[in-house]
Structure 1
Amino acid sequence: MLKEMFSLFNKQQKKSPPSAEKLAGDRADLKEKSFSNSLQENLSTIKQLYCIPDNKDIKLRELYLEGFNREAALIFISTITDVKSLEENILKPLTENTASNKKVKDIVSIQMVQEITLFKDAVKNINKGHALLILDGEAKGYLMDCPDFQSRAIEKPDNEILIKGPKEAFNEKAVANISLLRKKIRNENLMVETVEVSQRSHNDVYMLYIRGLANEKLIDNIKKRLGSLETNAIQNLPLLEEYIEERSYSLFPSILTTERPDRAASFIEDGYIVLLMDNSPDGLVLPATFWSFFHSPEDHYLRIHYGNFTRALRMVALFITIFTSAIYVAITTFHAEMIPPDLLLAIASTREKVPFPAVIEILIMEAAFELIREAGLRVPSPIGPTIGIVGALILGQAAVEANIISPIVIIVVALGGLSSFAVSDLSLNFAVRLIRFAFILSAAMFGIYGMTAFFVAGLFYMVSLKSFGVPYLAPLSPSYKSSKDTIFRRLVKNEKLRPGFLRPADLQKKTDGT
């Protein structure tokens, strides 16, 4: 009985379908094959690679070309190929041609015709929206450039909103984003290079920089880091950012994200490198310093006094966000002598019936504020403002009347929370919000001395940070030759130097188009 069961099991194992690993290995072997002179053999390989006819958006068109007196086949993916262009510029000229001495590239009216001999090149380009033409009797294929990926139109920025300045924003199509940058940088030295960063999905990253201006060592460093990635898929830039940043666990961001073409163009003209990808409505600026996150694109569009005034407000708001709640906890817990007597009595009277210490009050309200902020972002837009009003007014007032929270705590937390909105960059905003909780805990344990020690340690840490070899607080620390665009900026006509910490090939800004 046992022998019969074992024999039956072995027969089933032999009849079982091949494993996924074996299928993947077989397809990898097929990709390495070269085209043969037999059209049917080439089509058989294509059908195996794309699972035709099961894969419904893969179109295979077999036809007879009278001019060449031979059979041919056209393969393309209908959902990402411009079918109208394919019919008018490829199929129609090929079928109407009667001359036998012409070549394919002389007949079709398409932007690019590329000859290939390997199936892996065919698959890679078909997946990018190109069409593949195969002729019987020729051991090669012809790639036709006719991609048509669907995407949004050029719209206004959602996050980096400006009152004065351009209103265009990147979308999810890298070709459109490159076009927006080339519209602003009309320079033959603007380089657009591609690096493939995933082994299975074959996602391309576009590197944009100005040749002869950007530092060659920096370019090679970024290319090496991108080329060394070993992963199946990286679909967009936020995922890529985690792979290439130097300190993944650092609170402070080291790569700047922007959705504005004008801002990306200004960085490129200063010697920075910008990365773009399909499926990402933004670009990555490399390297990035703290000041890059602190600045707003509108600072240079406003007149110098207006721009510097907004920067001063932003810096004050940054310190208010980080320190207000922590200072309240430190003073009420350890340093009551620092408060004027009248104010001390007022605070004591409001906290008379509150059962919690000051740090618990602050943490409760800070957590409630973060919850309200998150809820306002995630719910549908018409409901978001309503949630903010209900959470801030009703819950806050109810908490005070229930003697859970004192009124001054609501004032302190609201001031810090509102000030945090002045930090426009999303990554820096998250860092500031998290650091605020660390300062509250340090103030609760050691008072002003704990806050001071934590602040000094934070400065030491920021000085140690680097973004692709560039010090995080440059050009303030260490000092480099530059236009000193840190907290305050100069007149645009007086900003004559590019950032020295980038080590650009040309430090002096010129007006001759170089």
Structure 2
Amino acid sequence: MIRFRRSPIKKKRNSNIEQQNSSSQDMPLSKQLDVNKDYFTSMYDENTDVIFRSFTVGKKEALIIYMDGLSDTDKLDKQVLDTLLNTTIFNEKDFPHSVQNKLPVSNIKSMTMLSDCIDAIGTGNPILLFDGSNEAFALGLVKYEKRAIEEPQAETSIRGSREGFTESLPVNLSLIRRIIKDPALKMKSMQLGTYSKTKIVISYIEGLVDTTLLKEIENRLHRIEVDGILESGYIEQFIEDNPYSPFPQVLYTERPDVVSANLLEGRAVIFIDGTPFALIAPISFFSLFQSQEDFYERFWIGTFFRSMRFLFLAISLFLPSIYVAITTYHQEMVPTDLLLSIASSRESVPFPALVEAILMEVAFEALREAGIRLPKQVGSAVSIVGALVIGQAAVQAGIVSAPMIIVVSITGIASFMVPRYSIGLAIRLLRFPIILLAGFLGLIGVMLAFIILIIHLSTLRSFGIPYLSPISTLQTNALQDTLIRSPLWKLSKRPHLTGEFNPVRQGSNLRPGPQDEEE
């Protein structure tokens, strides 16, 4: 009882300490350099990577504070310290700004609050303070190790850009600026996370995006109060409309060309520092089945593969349950020769079809997850060899039948046709309850699962946009880029629900072919 009585007191004490720290950080800088130095020294106590460098500029005492490993020390020595120590002529009336004008640093920001100085030090920008001035200068000399621009591993393509986002936010923004060079491309930044202070950037094209959408995104982001943002998945789970749905309501991607295409359609993109994934909103169910290569190849090829994705979506979701329903309740639907073959293969199997399907699906998912988590050198070998060995051994031992192995294999291959990993996870998760319904109710259970699924998808929203649009909203113009992909020269209008403010995105009469010569 004593332990439980003390815990609220400890929690209250910790909250009081946090309030004191936050209130002290909101204080302005002092004109006395010693006072400012004492504050930063106490704030960064037991932090050996925070460097304090004191020196004299003319007759003024100065101090530079920077984070070792996040700041460019070579430029700090050559462009700042060398300049200040070798220059003796300064304007005494406006000393800090005269020093600032002599520094060969392109990005210098003036600050007067302690909290701004702490944020600058944490992001790798050294701060410069002078005695007798309550103004500090953040020097844009950030330099830290970052991964090179590479092809995204999860979104490979045969034709298209080989560039992918990295964990560096400035690099990711520059990749978008290289594609969309118009000043209408806007970038709004904010910070999230009490301790991580992660930088978030909302990108959009002014004149194409709905201003109501931007306000809603900003409101949802400002509502987030969390210790730290470690990945874009944190943001996604905080801002989605229906958190209990297995279907993703925000699209994430590593590809700059995918982000640029969605920006040009009137959507907004959220970039998070420290992750190579950008979030796109709003989206629809059909957006998750579109690949960037659909638009890089001719429309016949794009239409064929897009249709194949929806076909294999149905196979991946319903094939095991239909097999269980037919073999358990509706044997009359199977041709006699095929039924006899299935019956002979299941003669020695001790489990009903429902248990057999659940066992094989769980084993297949375990092998697939093991192949992902294991090192790349052995992951693919373990998953392939494991599937072959376990499947063959299970059939020979009479634990499962050969037709069930074929059904589960086709289902697994069909699930790989989905271009987005997030929607693939939802399909893999929903497959199990549909199998259970088929095992208890037969084909009636399969139809019941299909109806429930359609009703659920119809009720979903992505930032107010119907999840099944444009089919559910009967937008005939947008159907040209949904189940099929019309020729590129016919896609002259942006999607109605995202690009209605500037609907025309290309000129008319763009059909290729020989042109009539003017007389």
Does 2:66 align with 1:76? Answer: yes
Does 2:212 align with 1:217? Answer: yes
Does 2:489 align with 1:493? Answer: yes
**1:79-478 to 2 correspondences below 5 Å:** 79-101=69-91, 103-478=98-473
From 20, 33, 39, give the equivalent of 1:45: 39
Residue 153 of structure 1 deviates from its aligned partner by 0.5
Give SS of 1:79's match. Answer: coil
Cα deviations by residue, 1:170-194 (Å, 9 ceiling, x for unpaired):
0101110000000000110111111
Contact 2:232 2:275 (C-alpha < 8 Å) held by counterparts: yes
Give SS of 1:382's match. Answer: helix
Residue 235 of structure 1 deviates from its aligned partner by 2.0
2: CA distance, partners of 1:92 / 1:482: 64
Give SS of 1:223's match. Answer: helix
2: CA distance, partners of 1:157 / 1:192: 23
Match of 1:32 in 2: 26
2: CA distance, partners of 1:202 / 1:495: 42
2: CA distance, partners of 1:128 / 1:479: 48
Residue 59 of structure 1 deviates from its aligned partner by 0.7
Residue 63 of structure 1 deviates from its aligned partner by 0.4
Give SS of 1:63's match. Answer: strand
2: CA distance, partners of 1:123 / 1:206: 20
Contact 2:152 2:255 (C-alpha < 8 Å) held by counterparts: yes
Residue 24 of structure 1 deviates from its aligned partner by 3.6
Cα deviations by residue, 1:383-425 (Å, 9 ceiling, x for unpaired):
1222123222111111111111111111111111111111121
Q: Report the TM-score when normalising by structure 2.
A: 0.92
Residue 149 of structure 1 deviates from its aligned partner by 2.9
Cα deviations by residue, 1:199-226 (Å, 9 ceiling, x for unpaired):
2322121100011211000000000110
Match of 1:65 in 2: 57
Bigger Cα displacement from structure 2, 167-176 vs 83-92: 83-92
2: CA distance, partners of 1:152 / 1:81: 17
Give SS of 1:191's match. Answer: strand
Give SS of 1:450's match. Answer: helix
Give SS of 1:181's match. Answer: helix
1: CA distance, partners of 2:76 / 2:287: 45
**Against the structure 1 CA distance between its residues 123 and 408, is the aligned structure 2 distance closer, same or farther, given a 3 Å change threshold?**
same
Contact 1:311 1:487 (C-alpha < 8 Å) held by counterparts: yes
**Against the structure 1 CA distance between its residues 482 and 81, is the aligned structure 2 distance closer, same or farther, given a 3 Å change threshold?**
farther
Cα deviations by residue, 1:313-369 (Å, 9 ceiling, x for unpaired):
211111111111111111111111111111111111111111111111111111111
Question: What amino acid is the match of 1:158?
Answer: Q
2: CA distance, partners of 1:221 / 1:134: 40
Does 2:498 align with 1:502? Answer: yes
Q: Report the TM-score when normalising by structure 1.
A: 0.93
Contact 1:196 1:227 (C-alpha < 8 Å) held by counterparts: no
1: CA distance, partners of 2:488 / 2:99: 54
2: CA distance, partners of 1:405 / 1:55: 60
2: CA distance, partners of 1:424 / 1:507: 27
1: CA distance, partners of 2:381 / 2:499: 50
Question: What amino acid is the match of 2:502?
Answer: D
Residue 22 of structure 1 deviates from its aligned partner by 5.6
CA RMSD of aligned residues (A): 1.7
Cα deviations by residue, 1:436-463 (Å, 9 ceiling, x for unpaired):
1122111111111111121012111101
Cα deviations by residue, 1:64-114 (Å, 9 ceiling, x for unpaired):
112xx2111111112111111212222121112121227122111112222
Identical-pair percentage: 35
Displacement over 6 Å in runs of 4+: none
**Against the structure 1 CA distance between its residues 56 and 297, is the aligned structure 2 distance closer, same or farther, given a 3 Å change threshold?**
same
2: CA distance, partners of 1:481 / 1:232: 46
